[in-house]
């Protein structure tokens, strides 16, 4: 049996955090705890990026743009949704949670969801330390896991064709030294195929994202 051991080493990892400012006092404290834990795990301060949005419903769109930038190994969502007297609590909780999960799957990037859903302020305050610290650990562990699995998908003797607007423009090997910047939606990396790709936007972004992160992992291992 092959067992992939959990790895809580944040060295060279780049982490993006999106914080919902609603109930900002609690969210800000969670960010402090989260960043402190990330640094304890070896993530450099310069490799931590924080973006804020008005509320939990706006968190997924910010996460999506961070993910599509291909500049991060993992993301963290932070915020608080406290139950009120109307159905709005269920709407915000359900939609924000679904949006966070959708971004993670569409862009194949780990996202630690630390958006608290509580009955009152007291419950939220009591969970600041534990949930924020857990989110940092989840982000680092899952970033290492996904990066490891991505590196296993590409063998040194495989060739990759780069397509632009459906036409092959370059063939390369992962062992070669190259630097490919995120390009247009029409660009797609495929494995030894002559088929003309016509993927949807999310799939094109996701496939390009895998290749870019694979290059970064390879460069890190060769240092």
Which residues does the annotation mark as catalytic?
Answer: 88
Question: Pick from 125, 123, 102, 126: which is nearest to 113 by CA?
Answer: 102
Q: Who's near 165: CB < 8 A, 6+ residues apart?
A: 184, 186
Contact 7, 144 (CB under 8 A): yes
Q: Per DSSP, what are the bridge partners of residue 51?
A: 18
Residue count (the chain): 223
- DSSP code of residue 10: -
Q: Per DSSP, what are the bridge partners of residue 163?
A: 168, 188
Contact 189, 205 (CB under 8 A): no
Give the separation between CA 160 and CA 192, rounded to whole angstroms: 6
Q: Who's near 216: CB < 8 A, 6+ residues apart?
A: none
Please, what sign has the CA dihedral across residues 183, 145, 27, 104?
A: positive
Residue 37: both structure tokens together: 């834990």
Give the separation between CA 100 and CA 153, rounded to whole angstroms: 25
């Amino acid at each position: 049996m092959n067992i992939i051991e959990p790895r809580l080493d944040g060295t060279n990892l780049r982490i993006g955090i999106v914080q919902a400012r609603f109930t900002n006092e609690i969210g800000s404290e969670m960010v402090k705890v989260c960043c402190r834990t990330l640094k304890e795990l070896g993530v450099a301060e310069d490799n931590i990026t924080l973006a804020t949005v008005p509320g939990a419903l706006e968190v997924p769109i910010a996460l999506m743009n961070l993910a599509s930038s291909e500049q991060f190994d993992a993301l963290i969502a932070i915020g608080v949704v406290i139950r009120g007297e109307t159905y709005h609590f269920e709407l915000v909780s359900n939609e924000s949670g679904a949006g966070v999960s959708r971004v993670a799957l569409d862009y194949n990037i780990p996202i630690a969801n630390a958006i608290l859903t509580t009955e009152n302020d007291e419950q939220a305050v009591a969970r600041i330390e534990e949930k924020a610290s857990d989110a940092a650990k989840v982000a680092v562990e899952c970033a290492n896991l996904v990066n490891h699995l991505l590196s296993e998908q590409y063998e040194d003797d495989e060739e990759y064709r780069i397509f632009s607007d459906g036409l092959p423009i370059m063939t390369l090997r992962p062992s070669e030294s190259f630097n490919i910047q995120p390009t247009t939606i029409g660009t797609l990396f495929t494995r030894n195929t002559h088929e003309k790709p016509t993927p949807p936007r999310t799939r094109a972004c996701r496939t390009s994202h895998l290749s870019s992160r694979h290059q970064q992992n390879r460069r890190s291992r060769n240092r």
